[in-house]
Amino acid sequence: MNSIGEACNDLKKEYDDCFNSWFSDHFLRGRTNDSLCAPLFKVYQDCVKKAMKQQNIDFEEVKKDLLETPHEKKPQGKS
């Protein structure tokens, strides 16, 4: 599976492979310490965040519950 940043694809693949084996070999066996893939995650993260910025994707917006809150953008004109 690709990353939104083409430059991040290799980093993502490396991290995903690490995560998948951590998930089945550690997490599902009750060992929840996630430091195993942390170094790979950090490098991949830096790359993705940069790519998101370049493509104007604002992930922070989603964390707010948009609809039915004051953050909701009201439709213009009569609805």
Partner 1 sequence: MKIWTFEHTFNHPWETVATAAWRKYPNPHNPAVIGTDVVERKVVNGVLHTQRLVSSIWYFPKWAQAIIGSAKVCYAAEHSEVNLSTRQMILKTINLTFCRHIAVNETLKYVPHPADPNKTLLKQEAVVTVQGVPLTNYMEDILTNKISTNASKGRQAMEWVINKINEEVQDITRSTDEIFTQTKKSLDDLTSSAKKSMDDISQKAKKSFDDIQQFKMNNNFSEC
Binding interface with partner 1 (CB under 8 A): 1-4, 8, 12, 15, 19-20, 23-24, 27-28, 30, 32-34, 41, 44-45, 48-49, 52, 57-59, 61-63, 66-67, 73-76, 79
Nearer to partner 1, 49 or 54 (CB): 49
Tell me the closest approach of the beta carbon of residue 72 to partner 1, in angstroms.
9
Closest-CA residue to 19 (of 50, 58, 45): 45
Q: Tell me how far, at minimum, the Cβ of 19 lies from partner 1, in Å.
A: 7
Contact 15, 44 (CB under 8 A): yes
Cα dihedral sign for 34, 37, 39, 40? negative
List phi, psi (to 5°) of 18.
Answer: -65, -45
